[in-house]
Amino acid sequence: MPAPATSPASTALPDALGRFGAFGGRFVPETLMDALNVLAGAYAEAQADPAFRAKLQDYYANYVGRPSPLYFAERLSKLVGGADIYLKREDLNHTGAHKINNAIGQVLIAQRMGKTRVIAETGAGQHGVATATACALTGLECTIYMGEEDIRRQKLNVFNMRTMGATVVPVTTGSRTLRDATNEAMRDWMGSSEQTHYTIGSVVGPHPFPMIVRDFQSIIGQETREQSLARLGRLPDAVVACVGGGSNAAGMFYPFINDDEVALIGAEAGGRGPNSGDHASSLTQGRPGVLHGSFSYVLQDDDGQTDDVHSISAGLDYPGVGPEHSYWKDCGRVRYESITDAEALDAYHVLARREGILPALESSHAVAQAMKEAPALGAGKVLVVCLSGRGDKDAYEIARLRGEPMG
C-alpha cells in the first residue's frame, strides 16, 4: 500500500545546481562542464521560444502520431479482477516506444545549437532507433553506442538503426550492456562536444539531462491526465510505469505529482531474484551513490564499484536510476516495486493472448505490476499503465527463451 508522504514532493525542481532534494547534481569531468552549461542555456531558450514549441508539437502530432490512445483493456481487467486497467499506448508511437518523444526534442535542440553530429547510448535499442530516426529527419550525423550483449538481444533495432544511416558502435567493455554503452557515449562526448550533442536516452546523467528528458516525456502524463478527465470525468486512482533509467515513468508521473489522490507506482527489474548480480532494482535494493554524473540510488558495492546487474529486458538492465525518482522515493510520493523476469514474461503472454497487444519486455514489467495492483485497488477504480513500447524487438529473444528459436 502507498506509504504516507513523508514530505510533499515539489514540481519546481531541479534547482540551479540540478538538485532534486539531495539527488542529482553534476559529477562529471571538468571537460564536460562547459558543454552542460551551454546546453542548459540553449534548452531554456528553446523552451521559451514559441516557434520551437510549435515545431515540436507539429512533429508530435504529424510524425509521431500523438496523442497516443488511452485504451481500456477490458479483457485484461476481467481476467485480473478489481480496478479497470487502461493502457497508455506509447507502443503506438512512430518507432514503437516513448523514446521518440525525447529523441526528437533533443535532436531539435542540437540542431538549434548548430551541432552537426548526435551520439546516444542505447540498451533495448529503442532510444537508438528513436535517435537515428530523429537524425534522419533532420539530416544530422548519428552514432549509437550499444553493448555487444544488447546487440545480440535486440537485432531488429540494430538493423533498423543502420538502415536509417546511423553508425552502431558495439561496446565490448564490462558487462557489454547499457551501463557500458553510457560510459562509451560519455567518453566520446568528452572529446567531441564542440560539434556533437549527446542525446541521453533517460532521466539520468548530469544536470540538465534529467530535467530535459523528463520535460520532453511529460507529454505522456499530460495527455493521460486530459484523456482521463475527458473520458472518465476524473483522474485515475493509480498510475503504473516501468523504471529503467526512469524516463517513461518520470514523464508519466510528473504531471500527477501534485494530485495526491493518484497513487504512483514504479516497477523495477527484479531479474532472477534479490541476490546481487541477479537484478537491476536500484531503488528498491540500492542506496544513494554516484554513477554516470549524478547522485542517485545505485547498485554499488561497499568499495563504490558498480554492481553487475541482470534483467531479461535490455532497457531495464541498468544499475542506476534518474535522480528525481530517488527524490520521489525518499519523499514517499512514488512507491517502487520489483518485478521478476518470470512475472514480466508471464504478463507479456497474458497481454498478447487477452488483448492482442505484444508489449516490450520493459513495459511487461509495468503490466505485471498492474496485475498485482488492480485486485488490491478494487472494482470501480481506475488504473493506468504506461505501455512504454511494443514487443516486436523482443520476439527473437522470447522465442529463444521459449526454446523455439526463429533462426
Partner 1 sequence: MRSPTVNPPHSSENVMNRIDALFTRLRSQGRRALMPFLTAGDPELEATAALIGEMVTRGADMVELGIPYSDPIADGPVIAESYTRALRTGIKLASIFAMVERLRSSERVEAPIVTMVSYAIVHRHGVTAYLDRAVSSGVDGLIVPDLPVEEAADLCRLATARNLSLIQLVTPTTPRDRALKIIASTTGFLYYVSVAGITGERRELPPELADNVAWLRSQTKLPVCIGFGISGPDQIRQLAPVADGLIVGSALVRRLRGAAERPRAEVVGEIGGFVEELARALTLT
Ligand X SMILES: Cc1ncc(COP(=O)(O)O)c(C=O)c1O
Interface residue list for partner 1 (CB under 8 A): 17, 25-35, 173-174, 179, 183, 186-187, 190-194, 289-293, 295, 300, 302-306
Q: Please name which of 216, 241, 389, 226 lies closest in space to residue 328, comparing C-alpha atoms.
A: 241
Residue 281, interface with ligand X (CB under 6 A)? no
The question of whether 99 is a catalytic residue gets the answer: yes
Catalytic residue among 88, 90, 99, 363: 99
Between 110 and 203, name the residue whose CB sits nearer to ligand X: 203
Q: How far is the CB of 177 from partner 1 (least distance, A)?
A: 12
> Binding-site residue total for ligand X (CB under 6 A)?
22
Catalytic residue among 77, 88, 121, 343: 121
Residue 106, interface with ligand X (CB under 6 A)? no
The only residue of 66, 88, 127, 179 in contact with ligand X, by rule CB under 6 A: 127
The owner of cell 516486436 is 392
Q: Please name which of 144, 95, 149 lies closest in space to residue 122, comparing C-alpha atoms.
A: 144
Q: Which residues contact 364 (CB under 8 A, 6 or more apart)?
A: 242, 313, 344, 345, 347, 348, 351, 391
Between 127 and 333, name the residue whose CB sits nearer to ligand X: 127
Q: How far is the CB of 177 from ligand X (least distance, A)?
A: 11
Q: Which of partner 1, ligand X, none does residue 351 bind (CB under 5 to 8 Å by kind)?
A: none
Q: Which of partner 1, ligand X, none does residue 17 bind (CB under 5 to 8 Å by kind)?
A: partner 1
The question of whether 388 is a catalytic residue gets the answer: yes
Residue 271, interface with ligand X (CB under 6 A)? no
Between 268 and 373, name the residue whose CB sits nearer to ligand X: 268
Residue 323, interface with ligand X (CB under 6 A)? no
Residue 363, interface with ligand X (CB under 6 A)? yes
User: Which phi and psi angles does 97 have, rounded to 5°?
Assistant: -160, 175
Residue 382, interface with ligand X (CB under 6 A)? no
193: amino acid identity, one letter? S
The question of whether 115 is a catalytic residue gets the answer: no
Q: How far is the CB of 254 from ligand X (least distance, A)?
A: 13
Q: Which of partner 1, ligand X, none does residue 191 bind (CB under 5 to 8 Å by kind)?
A: partner 1
Q: How far is the CB of 1 from partner 1 (least distance, A)?
A: 32
Scanning 8-16, 191-199, 240-248, 277-285 for contacts with ligand X by CB under 6 A, the matching segment is 240-248
CB 181 within 8 A of CB 123: yes
Q: Which of ligand X, partner 1, none does residue 95 bind (CB under 5 to 8 Å by kind)?
A: none
Q: What is the dihedral of CA 265, 211, 299, 128, to 10 degrees?
A: 100
Site residues, ligand X (CB under 6 A): 97, 99, 123-124, 126-127, 202, 242-249, 315-316, 360, 362-363, 388-389
Q: Which residues are catalytic?
A: 99, 121, 388
